[in-house]
Amino acid sequence: MKPKIECRNISKAFIQKGTQRVHVLQDISLEVRDNEFLVILGPGQSGKSTLLRIIAGLETPSEGSVQLDGREITGPGPDRGLVFQSYMLFAWRTVMGNVEMGPKLQGVPKAERRKTAQRYIDLVGLNGFENHYPHQLSGGMKQRVGIARAYTNGPQVMLLDEPFGQLDAQTRYFMEKETVRIWETDKRTVVFVTNNIDEAIYLGDRIVTLKGKLPGRMDAVYDVHLPRPREHTEMKFLELRQQITDASELVL
């Protein structure tokens, strides 16, 4: 089967302070399969967010190329949805206003886009909060809005950039559960970036680990053959966790 997303030998260098070149990614090659939940796991400063932004089309690789369905990615587009670590909600719009923004920009008529938006607001569990403004919501709820906003635009691929990094441990655990529930209800290809090894094993069909410090390089790929719903305390879960910890530089 042809991969959904294919990254070929991606390298990325930023120019800082005029002349200084900072290598962020070096020779990354990976494939994402259709409807797969792929987790990119790496420590801070391993370029994982940059990799996601390249797939989103917000950055262009210095070398190499990214293809979606065999077509080269040249810029951002509604076929890919991005969820940001710091939520990035429009503070001046209500939950509904935020969620319906994608179809609104595409010129979808109000009644129709409201219907789609409502479906995803319900899916992420924010029913009843349509008219709340972001500052009235907790962190977990804000990110639910972020997820619903990305989903409503009907992307084939969901890109999540450490979406639960700002949440406390308990809320984070629930949001992971919710993520699986949402993904199983409405399947998409997902690329999920995290620095949290438990989150990676809990969520991923496959885990790609990156080596830090900069530049980020490919480390290893792990297949996670655990039935869902998964348990953090399962023997196999812990074995895999140990295996990844031993092999990587992730200090826990």
Comparing CB distances to another protein, the nearer of 26 and 143 is 143
Minimum gap (Å) between residue 105 Cβ and another protein:
4
- Examine residue 229 and say whether the peptide bond preceding it is cis (omega within 30 degrees of 0): yes
| Binding of residue 135 to another protein (CB under 8 A) | yes
Q: How far apart are CA 195 and CA 209, in angstroms?
A: 10
Q: Which one of residues 32, 123, 141, 244 is an interface residue with another protein (CB under 8 A)? A: 141
| Binding of residue 183 to another protein (CB under 8 A) | no
| Binding of residue 14 to another protein (CB under 8 A) | no
Please tell me the count of residues contacting another protein according to CB under 8 A.
45
Whether 217 and 40 have beta carbons less than 8 Å apart is answered as no
Minimum gap (Å) between residue 223 Cβ and another protein:
26
* HEC secondary structure over 103-161: HHHCCCCHHHHHHHHHHHHHHCCCCCCCCCCHHHCCHHHHHHHHHHHHHHCCCCEEEEE
Comparing CB distances to another protein, the nearer of 179 and 209 is 179
Question: Pick from 158, 79, 168: which is nearest to 123 by CA?
Answer: 158
Comparing CB distances to another protein, the nearer of 44 and 128 is 128
Minimum gap (Å) between residue 218 Cβ and another protein:
25
| Binding of residue 179 to another protein (CB under 8 A) | no
Residues of span 45-104 touching another protein by CB under 8 A: 56-58, 75-78, 80-82, 84, 86, 88, 90-94, 101-102
| Binding of residue 211 to another protein (CB under 8 A) | no
Question: Pick from 34, 36, 39: which is nearest to 2 by CA?
Answer: 34
Minimum gap (Å) between residue 88 Cβ and another protein:
5
Minimum gap (Å) between residue 251 Cβ and another protein:
27
Among 64-72, 114-122, 133-141, 196-204, the segment contacting another protein (CB under 8 A): 133-141
| Binding of residue 109 to another protein (CB under 8 A) | no
Question: CA-based angle 59:61:66, to the nearest 5?
Answer: 95
* Residues contributing to the site for another protein (CB under 8 A): 56-58, 75-78, 80-82, 84, 86, 88, 90-94, 101-102, 105-106, 125, 128-129, 132-138, 140-141, 149-150, 153, 170-171, 173-174, 177-178, 231, 233
